[in-house]
Structure 1
């Protein structure tokens, strides 16, 4: 009888682990699609370079981390005081974008590397925020 009780408790715990991720999150009032241009099923999103998330770059001179908070901000290294104009972004190494919603590192990529020399999309896997450079080519 004790063995049966242990098995039932184990099955109950396993079922809770399976069902828990499927339960509704009371923090979120409802599911909403991101901007229609992004064609994703994310919770939030933006389109356009002016809406681009903050970026963490590598300084071309010393290799240290450099933050560019907004796409049209100049890029200034605090370590070696190198400065780059905002339009030099494609020449610098992009480490990752920073999610404007939750602050996590975002996955990013390019769909048309021969046409566009900057990342065309970025997705946060933590909060499902998605950004697109533009959708119509």
Structure 2
């Protein structure tokens, strides 16, 4: 009889563990979300304003090297040739991508008003959910 109760208890415990596993806290997760990652529309972290623009990778028009531009208000200097540009010339250079300041991955970026602005107006990292927005008023 005790062996049978032990067997029933082990089976109930196994069933409980199977049902409870998805509800247990994941030590690697930084936040609890009810939606699947591909369907998330909210972000975890972010910044607003051109002064907080994520680092950019630009193409040098002289030697076609990649220029890393971390500070949006700093001048743009090519490390491969002698090309130098003012930070105000950013819209004239080819933007390769924006880089997430949190995880370092490429960010999706775009413009909401392409006829009014020559620069990206938003960027989102799909890896860590960081979002940047160029806040402006008319």
TM-score with structure 2 setting the length: 0.72
Corresponding residue for residue 67 of structure 1: 68
Flag the structure with larger Rg.
2
Corresponding residue for residue 77 of structure 1: 78
TM-score with structure 1 setting the length: 0.73
Corresponding residue for residue 43 of structure 1: 44
Is contact 1:31-1:43 (8 Å) kept? Answer: no
Instruction: Specify whether residues 50 and 25 from structure 1 end up closer, same or farther in structure 2 by C-alpha distance, changes over 3 A only.
Output: farther
Corresponding residue for residue 130 of structure 1: 131
**RMSD (CA atoms):** 2.5
Gaps of 5+ in 2: 1-20, 34-40
Instruction: Specify whether residues 42 and 88 from structure 1 end up closer, same or farther in structure 2 by C-alpha distance, changes over 3 A only.
Output: same
Instruction: Specify whether residues 48 and 58 from structure 1 end up closer, same or farther in structure 2 by C-alpha distance, changes over 3 A only.
Output: same
Corresponding residue for residue 100 of structure 1: 101
Moved over 6 A (4+): none
C-alpha displacement at 1:26, in angstroms? Answer: 2.5
Gaps of 5+ in 1: 1-18, 33-39
C-alpha displacement at 1:27, in angstroms? Answer: 3.6
Q: Matches of 2:104 and 2:24 in 1, distance apart?
A: 25
Q: Matches of 1:46 and 1:73 in 2, distance apart?
A: 18
Instruction: Specify whether residues 64 and 31 from structure 1 end up closer, same or farther in structure 2 by C-alpha distance, changes over 3 A only.
Output: same
Q: Secondary structure at the match of 1:79?
A: coil
Aligned length: 112
